[in-house]
């Protein structure tokens, strides 16, 4: 089950109360205040993990409470600190304050951590209030309450390449052909109801390039307003470096104008925002084994006019698949080298 949104309520541990006590021991001529401090409440920490790829574990367990600190005791004994909680989330998770909508943190790498609720400070015991002119204080503090928040979690997949296009253009078949991913494949619209990730490796052992491909569920006209699968999965394209736009050039789609198909998808990417329409794009003429020559010719003219690379592929027969894989790998490698050089140039 793929869950990419969740709402959670977290409550850090309260601090323990400070103690009011006095020493009254045999053979101790001078007694005095001996109340210890309360322990600190436990924090709640969120940490990114590569072992998680969905937020489903928060769907059925949305409330998390850390342990409170133990109260202080006599003989200047400080209470034990409360145990904290570590919540694991997938890389790509964004934490929003549910009340204000503010973005608080974004997990972009494994093993990043962020304290989402801090435990309350323990109260001071009466021994802390003793002075030379106030030798028998009866003051003591209660522990401070731990922070309590409601957060909205949103997951955006971290993939190098995103496969986009109308439903049933062959995206799932393609990702199953170039990677070990095994998505559901069937001959009806919206077969894919959740994004599928696959790792693609190109080249030999010495010069191998591997990258992650995401099969984004089919888009239709009006997707940015919620039509079809709507904006539910458009955000997963935001972090991709490259888009591969599959266009069905066979007669099975029932849509005669391939250039209109392309314009509709590009329009949806632009209308969604996040500069999706500005991402580099490779065009792929899908189902070339059952090609309609008029559709293919129209798509070639469109790509030539807009200076887009076009690859003719058939995920069924395997035609053009290797060429497309190497083209994707080349583009991804360019972006990685560019990002590396920019990181080195930064002071």
Task: Please write the tens of the pLDDT for every residue from 11-68.
Answer: 999 999 999 999 877 777 677 899 999 999 999 999 998 888 778 889 888 999 999 9
CA distance 13 to 143: 10
Specify the CATH number of the domain 5-155: 2.70.210.12
**pLDDT for the residue numbered 232:** 54
What is the model's pTM?
A: 0.66
| CB-facing half-sphere around the CA of 15: CA atoms within 13 A | 21
d(CA 59, CA 55): 7
Strands (E), 113-260: 113-117, 148-155, 161-164, 196-202, 209-215, 242-248
The alpha carbon of 122 is separated from its chain's Cα centroid by a whole number of angstroms, namely 35
**Rounded Cα gap, residues 223 and 236, in angstroms:** 14
Give the Å distances, CA to CA, from 176 to 128, 182, 200, 318.
Answer: 67, 5, 10, 11
Cα–Cα distance for residue pair 316/250, rounded to 1 Å: 13
CA distances from 97 to 94, 104, 210, 239 (A): 10, 7, 36, 22
Quick count: other Cβ atoms within 10 Å of Cβ 43?
21
Q: Can you give the pLDDT at residue 279?
A: 84
Q: At what angle do helices 171-178 and 321-345 cross, to 10 degrees?
A: 80
Q: Which residues contact 46 (CB under 8 A, 6 or more apart)?
A: 86, 87, 89, 93, 95, 105, 107, 113, 114, 115, 116
Query: Mean per-residue pLDDT for 73-100?
Result: 92
Structure tokens of 167? 């439903």
Indicate where the chain has its CATH 3.40.50.300 domain(s). Answer: 161-345
Average pLDDT across the chain, whole number: 83
Residues 161-345, CATH architecture? 3-Layer(aba) Sandwich (3.40)
Structure confidence by residue, pLDDT tens digits, 194-224: 567 777 888 776 777 888 888 876 555 544 4
Q: What is the dihedral of CA 291, 297, 301, 303, to 10 degrees?
A: 10
**CA 279, chain centre distance (Å):** 20
């Amino acid at each position: 089950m793929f869950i990419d949104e969740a709402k959670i309520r977290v409550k850090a541990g309260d601090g323990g109360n400070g103690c009011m006590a006095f020493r009254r021991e045999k053979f101790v001529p001078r007694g005095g205040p001996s109340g210890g401090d309360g322990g600190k409440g436990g924090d709640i920490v969120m940490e990114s993990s590569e072992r998680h790829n969905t937020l489903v574990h928060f769907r059925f367990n949305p409330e998390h409470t850390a342990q409170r600190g133990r109260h202080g005791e006599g003989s200047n004994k400080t209470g034990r600190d409360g145990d904290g909680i570590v919540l694991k989330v997938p890389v790509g998770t964004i934490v929003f304050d549910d009340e204000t909508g503010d973005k608080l943190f974004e997990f972009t790498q494994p093993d990043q951590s962020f304290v989402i609720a801090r435990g309350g400070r323990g109260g001071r015991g009466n021994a802390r209030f003793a002075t030379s002119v106030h030798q028998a204080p009866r003051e003591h503090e209660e522990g401070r309450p731990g922070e309590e928040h409601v957060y909205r979690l949103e997951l955006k997949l971290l993939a190098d390449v995103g496969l986009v296009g109308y439903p049933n253009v062959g995206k799932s078949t393609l990702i199953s052909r170039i990677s070990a991913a095994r998505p559901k494949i069937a001959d009806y619209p919206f077969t894919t109801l959740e994004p599928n990730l696959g790792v693609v490796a190109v080249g030999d052992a010495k010069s191998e390039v591997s990258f992650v491909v995401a099969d984004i569920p089919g888009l239709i006209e009006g997707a940015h307003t919620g039509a079809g699968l709507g904006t539910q999965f458009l955000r997963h394209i935001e972090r991709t470096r490259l888009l591969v736009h599959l266009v069905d050039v066979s007669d099975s789609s029932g849509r005669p104008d391939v250039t209109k198909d392309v314009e509709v998808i590009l329009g949806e990417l632009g209308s969604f925002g996040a500069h999706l329409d500005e991402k580099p794009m490779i065009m792929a003429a899908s189902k070339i084994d059952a090609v309609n020559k008029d559709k293919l010719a129209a798509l070639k003219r469109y790509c030539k006019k807009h200076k887009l690379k076009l690859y003719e592929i058939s995920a069924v027969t395997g035609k053009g698949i290797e060429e497309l894989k190497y083209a994707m790998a080349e583009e991804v490698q360019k972006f990685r080298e560019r990002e590396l050089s920019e990181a080195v140039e930064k002071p």
